[in-house]
Structure 1
């Protein structure tokens, strides 16, 4: 943290004192957005009982939050240019905080889902432009460490969410899972008004048609994957896939023709950016396949309880918390694609080690292998995000942040679909359950190998760019 507050002659970004307040705002926003998935996950059985609904219906408390967030990512990233990221981020945080009150006071599922839809939009507004603000807050030489803080914050939410949620439910009702957002949100809003860099919006027409097409394409894809994992009919799955592909195709055609596109396609002509985005896609496929497969491995194959399964998984996000800041610091001094490739290689090794576990594996063996995966992913994520955000001009950072959030969503969705395909038994009718779970982990390792290769291919591009700059 001390290095992030340093100042050198010629530095861009904010002064150190304002910088620490601004980073506190961004970290609290990211933490609230992530916690509101992991906190609520563990409370769904309790909420279903208290609201008098089925377990399957209660899942929509999570689904709508994620769905509207995924659908609105590119729209909010572009809207940041139109009205200014300062206004959009503060507006998103205010909406998120106020709807937490509505969620806490809800007495029925329809009202709660309605507030969760609006809350998901508030979270999307923060998450879609948050990474681009790092380029305004920090000088370029510290961008990797700043990206490491983001990855660490998300990992804290992933690791601490179930524990914090369980602790709150042990002493209070589920509405308190939303009430805790109020003091954090109000404090963060006060700091945001003072600390975030103000910028004027730009007076140009907003691409409403492009926004609708992107929302339909992303939303239909996420619904398709969620339904596929729940055994939706083939006809419905193919219909949603067709809607998603058609909307994406029309979206791309429109972006090529409109004067002020929602997503400037010219950014993909920068090889380092497009390669980093593609790397991120395969990395999140790998991560998603592991995250979904491991509970089946721990519970269905090795016989652990759900609580024990959650504890066995904890070393992964804890490892990311340790690896991300260090990976970001190294990326500011050495070649970011090289550091990212090394981190992804460690993740692949960790996933292979998990895939090789037998049914009688000791707890210690599971814990250290999960930690290896987390450390590897942390080492990868901050340097790759640094490349993704830093390879474009500063004025394009909003678009880069939107792409970064979109490929994360697509990667996690594709990973979930692949695991659902394997575990459904389509490929292995009558096989032992351990075999499909192991295959899903090996599939995730393969995606990691592809991501590692893409990082390695980017190393010469980075060196060439550094030579030109020198």
Structure 2
């Protein structure tokens, strides 16, 4: 396989070690991404068996998401100080031990605590995984390995609920966590053997203020998005609106303070000069807008499938299958093309196709059959797969190798932030339609009203990806300008 062939002048590791490093990183990434989505289907069972309230059990999911989002920037910065191998292996070990703790949790409170520890471990891995790929693989293969990584993340995200439902049909919820233990131990052993441990020596103190502000900004943003998602629940809408406004304001204030601290810090948590590259900055904005669209679609479509079309939760998960299939079919080829042709051009083409796919989903008929949903979801997956790996290559390829950890952190933050913005926008759209239904004397929206609200949300997703396409197109001119100069 070309990914593991050696050529004179190659950077990174020899082919055999490259293979082992890729296996370690991909095993860890799969576990971290799965655990962000797979647990949702087990919440009803966890609630019953541990005697927890629904409101408390929700934090089994939210605790993991919050811990991951709040520490992404911190771990990306720490990677240059402690080294990729040390940070990645430590995060993987914490994640694995916390998985065992989750499986053995006697109460929901212990389970939530273990999930928070899992989130910290997951953040340490996810924040630097693309940077490790850049360190391990030569530049000529960067697009290809990022294409495979994009396939892995997208497939894990989309397949997680279906896999969780399948496991729960045969086993108890504890096995959703226990399965991580042998895989995690194998990945720790591999990572300690083959992942490079290069680090940047610095006498400057760690940017504690920047780490705290970034955690507050991301954490408050996640909580604001969660509050927005509750806006559609009639009697709780007022309380949810106040919470969303308070957390949103806190996130904005913390983000502004973070930027000011980074400008003054001698060794900033996130060096802002990486954004001096126009191509990097535009790639980051493109990624943010595209994940807004994806975030809306991923949360909105289950509502459409179940509330409007009457499919079961498991059938709804299966209806997502064409989406990751499209990514699997396209992303590796897109990554290979990005090593030879303009990543900006390839990303723009992919985003245009993704936008068309979302528009097709928004135009679904009132009584859509599974095959009709499937081919439209396939178009979305193919478009997103053709966009993501070239765009990630553009981001990582336009910073120095020393800043790969920071660029990798920005990539993870854009994904998380975009998906949360998408969830928040969906909550706002649903709240507007729920309020309209209540004004007409309905206790809740009926199937037809649900379908209308979801279609409007999908058109918002189309608008977000159209913006991403426009921003991506502007990179083509920036790239040509850089070449001509």
TM band (smaller chain): over 0.9
TM-score, L = length of structure 1: 0.96
Structure 1 CA distance for aligned equivalents of residues 155 and 229 of structure 2:
27
The correspondence of residues 367-406 of structure 1 with structure 2, limited to 5 A, is: 367-406=374-413
Equivalent residue, structure 2, for 1:126: 125
Note the alpha carbon deviations across 1:10-48, whole angstroms, 9 max, x for none.
111111110000010110111000111222111111111
Question: Could you tell me how far 1:234 is from its partner in structure 2?
Answer: 2.8
Equivalent residue, structure 2, for 1:244: 251
Equivalent residue, structure 2, for 1:164: 163
Structure 2 CA distance for aligned equivalents of residues 291 and 450 of structure 1:
19
Equivalent residue, structure 1, for 2:221: 221
The correspondence of residues 149-298 of structure 1 with structure 2, limited to 5 A, is: 149-203=148-202, 204-231=204-231, 232-298=239-305
Structure 1 CA distance for aligned equivalents of residues 355 and 243 of structure 2:
34
Equivalent residue in structure 1 for 2:353, among 343, 346, 352: 346
Note the alpha carbon deviations across 1:121-172, whole angstroms, 9 max, x for none.
0000000111111111111111111111111111331243233322322332
Structure 1 CA distance for aligned equivalents of residues 118 and 220 of structure 2:
20
Equivalent residue in structure 2 for 1:310, among 317, 321, 328: 317
Equivalent residue in structure 2 for 1:453, among 444, 462, 470: 470
Equivalent residue, structure 2, for 1:62: 61
Question: Could you tell me how far 1:467 is from its partner in structure 2?
Answer: 5.0
Equivalent residue in structure 1 for 2:421, among 411, 414, 418: 414
Distance 1:6 1:428, change over 3 A: farther
Q: Is contact 2:73-2:409 (8 Å) kept?
A: yes
- Aligned residue pairs total 467
Structure 1 CA distance for aligned equivalents of residues 242 and 37 of structure 2:
32
Equivalent residue, structure 1, for 2:444: none
Structure 1 CA distance for aligned equivalents of residues 294 and 407 of structure 2:
21
Structure 2 CA distance for aligned equivalents of residues 247 and 159 of structure 1:
32
Structure 2 CA distance for aligned equivalents of residues 166 and 462 of structure 1:
45
Equivalent residue, structure 2, for 1:444: 461
Structure 2 CA distance for aligned equivalents of residues 261 and 23 of structure 1:
30
Question: Could you tell me how far 1:297 is from its partner in structure 2?
Answer: 1.6
Structure 2 CA distance for aligned equivalents of residues 64 and 236 of structure 1:
18
Note the alpha carbon deviations across 1:332-379, whole angstroms, 9 max, x for none.
111101111111111111111111111122221111110110111011
Q: Is contact 1:428-1:436 (8 Å) kept?
A: no
Structure 2 CA distance for aligned equivalents of residues 257 and 356 of structure 1:
50
| Aligned CA-pair RMSD | 1.5
Q: Is contact 1:155-1:318 (8 Å) kept?
A: no
Distance 1:340 1:427, change over 3 A: farther
Q: Is contact 2:162-2:317 (8 Å) kept?
A: no
Equivalent residue, structure 2, for 1:326: 333
Structure 2 CA distance for aligned equivalents of residues 252 and 351 of structure 1:
34
Structure 2 CA distance for aligned equivalents of residues 241 and 45 of structure 1:
29
Structure 1 CA distance for aligned equivalents of residues 321 and 308 of structure 2:
19
Note the alpha carbon deviations across 1:55-87, whole angstroms, 9 max, x for none.
232111010000110010111111111211211
Q: Is contact 1:84-1:202 (8 Å) kept?
A: no
Unaligned runs of 5+ in 1: none
TM-score, L = length of structure 2: 0.93
Distance 1:427 1:457, change over 3 A: farther
Distance 1:7 1:465, change over 3 A: farther
Q: Is contact 2:165-2:314 (8 Å) kept?
A: no
Equivalent residue, structure 2, for 1:49: 48
Structure 2 CA distance for aligned equivalents of residues 178 and 114 of structure 1:
14
Q: Is contact 1:82-1:206 (8 Å) kept?
A: no
